[in-house]
Amino acid sequence: MKQTFKIALAGNPNCGKTCIFNSLTGARQHVGNYPGVTVESKSGNFTLNGMQIELVDLPGVYSLSSSSPEEDVVFKELTTPGIDLIVNVIDSTIPQRSLYLTTQLAELHIPMLLAFNMSDDAKKKGLKFDIPKFEKYFGSPVVQTVGNKASGVRRLLEQLAKTLTELEDHGVPMLSYGADIDDAINAVASEIDALNVAEYKHIPSRFFAIKLLEHDSSAMNIQALKSVHPKVEEEIKHLWDKHAIEADTFMADRRYAMLAGACRDAISCTEGKRREISDKIDMVMTNKFLGFPIFLAIMYLTFYFTFTCAEPFMGWIEEFFAFLGESIKDIWSEDKLPYLRSLVTDGIIGGVGGVIVFLPNILFLFFAIALLEDSGYMSRAAFIMDGVMRKFGLQGRSFVPLVLGFGCTVPAIMATRTIESERDRTVTIMVLPFMSCGARLPIYALIIPAFFAHKYQAFMMWVIYIIGVIVALVAAKLMKSTLFKGDGEVYLMELPPYRMPTAKSLMLHMWDRGRMYLQKAGTIILATSVILYICNTFPEKKEFSVDYDAKIEEAQKAVKVAKQQSEEALQKAQEKLSALENAQMAEKMEYNISGRVGKTLEPLFKPIGFDWRITTATIGALAAKEVFVAQMGILYAEGEADEESEGLRQQLIKHYTPLQAFCVMLFCLLSIPCLATLAIIKRELNSWKMAFIEAGALFTLAYTATLIVYQIGTVLKIGTSLIG
């Protein structure tokens, strides 16, 4: 008997399919994207009674009509040979709508097991099912499940083991759409049979006949069936002449009519059926006056939870990588392969650490998102914001990633997977870099206190954030009106009942996203960190304007002497030593590849108010925006050069005007946040082309906007005087 099986898990969105998938496969899952599209693919493996089973979690769809990327993926997956069984997960609280997909799956004549999920919720609604009648009607076994409980899938496993041993004896569904349309289906099916297409021998010709009569795009694009199109059009014309209705609409009407009869015969409601608790909660949560403030409060709590919980873990990770780097430096002598030593400690460990430090943010953010999704609130959030977002060409589900973009663009882009529409998701990803992420905050914290009076500082911070939001919304509107133009898509704003998420599902969600972040973004950042290290190191300058080695040695001796004196003397000696070391580093930076590039590009950036130092720091900030502050500190030889460095602020005040300072913030706001963002854009859109187009477009916009602001400010003499 066969011992290995491939099972497809199919169902509507929000039917509890993912909970069942997680319960069956646990951590033995593989997550990716289907080739050429942004639709997520999931597969997992488990063993049942000695049988090896590969479980494929298909995207949630309402039908096989190929009107969305998800439906097209499911159509192609199910019409490709290799599927031994379909487990169709049905939301038994709304059986008639959920079974619409079942009628189409049944036409494939692939053995099927129907899982009437959320049976506990259906019972609370007073719904009772005549299981034998459903089994006879669809020619498939039926099992009632509760996917978010371990005990709730036990019966599914028992029935699954039994079904897999009886695949050869699966039943035939009793589906009839009425004499006229059945005749049309049979006529087209006969034409398909005559073609004898080997590629689709495993699928009944009746299935493709129905799809062709519906003008389904996936079926119509099958080259082997092109010769049948004249017969299809003939039958469609016949149906039109007789019923004055389009065939695809006619099929949908007949399916629902057929299901209405089946459900009326096999489902009963108890007299004690009451209004669900979910409906009562929604009277408050989706109230037109209270819904939006509650939504903002929940988003704030999500944001607060993510960064508050992640902060200590981020600190520990930073300390660990700092300890690791210093430990290697202590073990590895400076005179043994010094460049390789520096590459490992400063380039590789520093680069990897810079990526992994954000892992707690990723994990806690997606824990919060999974909590909102699994509880049912995310659908309410989309419903509440849908009207506002549509004015800018987006949908409600785009709002949550945009808000999360204020924290970090990388996890925010990953959060767009909750958006069903490929166009809306792509547009959301493309405008997300305009949301001012936390990595830009050190730049604002350095510049604003230095160049703007205390009473205007909060206002300037607010202005820079608002500019990002406005640009993002305007850009979204323009893209939906041009590049991603199309008819407005209609989405079923389904509000599933509130449920208690399972700890297992939440943990698996965190694990998937965390692993994906490390594997994809981490490897690319590692490579770019090595490249940036090389650019910041070579060519190495040998001759300096002064004898720094002698002066530094003298300063080190002075520090040792000062330790025996007062604290004030020690501080001054350390400051002098640090200034000398950074002055030497500044000369090295001007001489190496990064510095030379900065000098070379200075004429290009001069019209927007940038000198070679700012240009060099901007290039270095490609790895991460925080690098801008560190690079400026090195170039101006000011101690550790962090955002709290008063010395660096004083140097900036001496060399730059408030107008130039504002232009630096504006350029950093509108340009690409970091290389990790490009890596995630490539990962989520399956396209390096889109990632580079995004980088080019953002640079062009940032440069153009900054040029306009700087030139107008210069002509009007706004903020053009040095204040230092």
**Percentage of the chain modeled with pLDDT above 90:** 21
Interacting residues of 359 by C-beta distance below 8 A, sequence separation 6+: 313, 317, 514, 517, 518
Same domain, 480 and 606: no
Please tell me the distance from the alpha carbon of residue 69 to that of residue 76, in angstroms, as a whole number: 11
CA 370, distance to chain mean position in Å, is: 13
| pLDDT above 90 (res 95) | no
* Residue 273: predicted pLDDT: 44
Among residues 106, 120, 430, 111, the alpha carbon closest in space to that of 258 is found at 106
Amino acid 471: pLDDT: 95
Q: How many CB atoms lie within 10 A of CB 532?
A: 22
The structure tokens 């955002």 sit at 643
Question: How is residue 186 written in tokens?
Answer: 């049979």
Q: What is the pLDDT of residues 396-426, one digit of tens each?
A: 778 878 877 877 788 788 878 767 677 888 9
> 607 pLDDT band (50/70/90 cuts)?
very high
Same-domain pairing of 165 and 188: no
Number of structural domains found in the chain: 4
Say whether pLDDT at 358 is over 70.
no
Q: Could you tell me if residue 286 is inside a domain?
A: no
Answer whether residue 580 is part of any domain: yes
Residue 516 lies inside a defined structural domain of this protein: no
Alpha-carbon distances, residue 447 vs 74, 627, 710, 724 (angstroms): 52, 14, 16, 13
Residue whose pair of structure tokens reads 């950093």 in the numeric block: 668
Q: What would the pLDDT profile of 361-385 be if each residue is shown by its tens digit?
A: 778 877 887 888 778 887 787 778 7
Q: Three-state DSSP class for 45?
A: strand
Residue-wise pLDDT for 105-139, tens only, equals 998 989 999 999 988 888 877 888 999 988 888 88
DSSP 441-471: HHHHHHHHHHHS-HHHHHHHHHHHHHHHHHH
CA distance 410 to 294: 26
Q: Which residues contact 666 (CB under 8 A, 6 or more apart)?
A: 464, 467, 702, 705, 706, 709
Among 237, 269, 301, residue at a domain's last position: 269
**513 belongs to a structural domain:** no
Residue 113, phi then psi, degrees to nearest 5? -120, 125
pLDDT for position 642? 41
Compute φ and ψ for 97, nearest 5 degrees: -70, -40
d(CA 613, CA 66): 54
**Could you tell me if residue 364 is inside a domain?**
yes
Q: How confident is the model at residue 307 (pLDDT cuts 50, 70, 90)?
A: low
Q: Are 714 and 659 within 8 A, CB to CB?
A: yes
Average the pLDDT over 527-539 and give the result. 75
Token pair for residue 605? 């950036």
Amino acid identity at 700? T
Residues 355 and 522 sit within 8 Å (Cβ to Cβ): yes
Report the C-alpha gap between 365 and 561 in whole angstroms: 50
Residues 6+ apart with CB under 8 A from 662: 451, 460, 709, 713, 719
Task: Say whether both 261 and 296 belong to one domain.
Answer: no
Give the mean model confidence (pLDDT) for residues 143-162: 86
Q: Greater confidence, 189 or 244?
A: 189
For the whole model, what pTM was predicted? 0.59
Residues 162 and 186 in one domain: no
What pLDDT does 296 receive? 78
Hey, which residues does 349 pair with through a beta bridge? none
77 and 124 belong to one structural domain? yes
Q: 218: which 2 tokens?
A: 């996936």
Would you say how long the chain is, in residues? 724
317 compared with 51, residue with greater pLDDT? 51
List the one residue out of 144, 148, 151, 109 whose CA is nearest residue 130: 144
Note whether 66 and 152 are same-domain residues.
yes
Report the distance separating Cα 569 and Cα 723, nearest Å.
31
Percent of the chain with pLDDT strictly greater than 70: 87
What is the phi-psi region of residue 55: left when phi exceeds 0, alpha when psi lies from -120 to 50, beta otherwise? beta
State the CB neighbour count (10 A cutoff) for residue 580.
20
Same domain, 629 and 661: yes
Domain that holds residue 101: 4-169
Q: How far apart are CA 21 and CA 443, in angstroms?
A: 45
Q: How confident is the model over 248-259, as a mean pLDDT?
A: 76
Question: CB–CB of 83/8 below 8 Å?
Answer: yes
In a domain, 526, yes or no: no
Whole-angstrom distance, CA of residue 695 vs CA of residue 693: 5
Task: Give the N- to C-terminal CA distance of the chain in Å, as an integer.
Answer: 85
Contact between residue 396 and residue 424 where contact means Cβ atoms under 8 Å apart:
no
Count of helices and strands (H, E) across the chain: 33, 9
pLDDT at 482 over 60: yes
Here the tokens at position 210 are: 């129905």
Is residue 668 within 8 Å of residue 446, measured between CB atoms?
Answer: no
Pairing of strands 4-11, 29-33: unpaired
Mean residue pLDDT across the chain: 82
Residue the block writes with tokens 């477009």: 697
Evaluate if residue 568 carries a pLDDT over 90.
Answer: no
Residues 101 and 155 both lie in one domain: yes
| Residue 268: strand pairing partners | 128
- Domain assignment of residue 631, yes or no: yes
pLDDT digits (tens, 9 = 90+) for 651-678: 889 889 999 999 999 999 999 988 888 8
Q: Are residues 481 and 569 in the same domain?
A: no
Q: Is the pLDDT of residue 513 over 90?
A: no
CATH of the domain at 230: 1.10.287.1770
Do both 322 and 265 map to the same domain? no
Q: How many CA atoms lie within 13 A of 577 on its CB side?
A: 17
Asked whether residue 225 falls in the same domain as residue 308, the answer is no
- Taking the CA atoms of residue 101, residue 107, residue 109 and residue 111 in that order, the dihedral angle to the nearest 10 degrees is 20
Rg (CA), the chain: 31
The Cα–Cα gap between 590 and 616 comes to 9
Inter-residue contact 370 to 506 (CB < 8 Å):
yes
Output 714 or 576, whichever has higher pLDDT: 714
- Of 169, 197, 221, the last residue of a domain is 169
Burial of 371 (0-12, 13-18, 19+ CB in 10 A): middle
Q: What integer is the mean pLDDT of 81-104?
A: 90
- CA-wise closest residue to 664 among 623, 693, 636, 625: 625
With a CB cutoff of 8 Å and minimum separation 6, the contacts of 623 are 351, 354, 525, 528, 529, 532, 674, 675
Whether the predicted pLDDT of 244 surpasses 70 = no
Quick one: pLDDT at residue 419?
77
- What's the DSSP call for residue 94? S
pLDDT above 70 (res 504): yes
Distance CA 468, CA 440 (A): 12
Query: Are residues 165 and 185 located together in one domain of the fold?
Result: no
Q: What pLDDT band is residue 274 in, cutting at 50, 70 and 90?
A: very low
Q: Answer whether residue 283 is part of any domain.
A: no
